Amino acid sequence: SSPEGKARLAVLMAIRQAIVERGGTPSCAAYAAGLMSSLSQQHDEETTAAVVYVLSHVLQNVSQTVLRSKFIGIADLLLSTMQYHDGSASVARHGLHCVHLIIAAQEVEAWRTPQMGQLTEILLSHAVDPRPKVRKAAQGFVMSLIGQDVLPGEAKAAVESKALSFCASTFKAC
């Protein structure tokens, strides 16, 4: 049991307790809502990393319908959290996992929002991050979005176009 593991377990137990105290039934959607509520409060880096880690695992089991209906709120919160804790490799890695999950759940309409542009930019910018684990995670998530049939055709084309533009501007900067 590492300190990170203990922090993650404490987050999970606190969210469960909050759900039960409010008369709710623990479910993935309830945990996700509780974790998002927790993220909306400013925490230290260790707590935020634990919350984002647990959220990255919970979001995998939340229905696409919920991820679509809450897209703007989730996106805004993840973006602000990742920007606030931009020095944390753990927040970045697990935050990128969350970003990947919510992008993959969206339909074409979401690609017209400013949040989707910001999410794809954050994925692409972390693909050249100097931290190896963050860079590897971001590259894997970008490749997953481009290489698999996770996204609708128009959305996949949008990711590919953004990736090509990002690569061109990165190469010009060298």
* Higher pLDDT pick, 145 / 17: 17
* Higher pLDDT pick, 112 / 150: 112
pLDDT for residue 87 is more than 80? yes
Please, what is the average pLDDT of the chain?
A: 91
pLDDT band at 170 (very low <50, low <70, confident <90, very high): confident
- Percent residues over pLDDT 70 in the chain: 98
By CB atoms closer than 10 A (0-12, 13-18, 19+), residue 144 is middle
pLDDT band at 36 (very low <50, low <70, confident <90, very high): very high
Which residues lie below 8 Å from residue 78, measured CB to CB, with a gap of 6+? 39, 95, 98, 99, 102, 119
pLDDT for residue 111 is more than 80? yes
Which residue, among 106, 103, 50, has the nearest Cα to 79 in the 3D structure? 103
pLDDT band at 149 (very low <50, low <70, confident <90, very high): low
pLDDT for residue 123 is more than 80? yes
At residue 139's C-alpha, the angle toward residues 85 and 40, to 5°, is: 25
Give the pLDDT score at 81: 96
Give the pLDDT score at 150: 66
pLDDT for residue 41 is more than 70? yes
Q: Please state the length of the chain.
A: 174
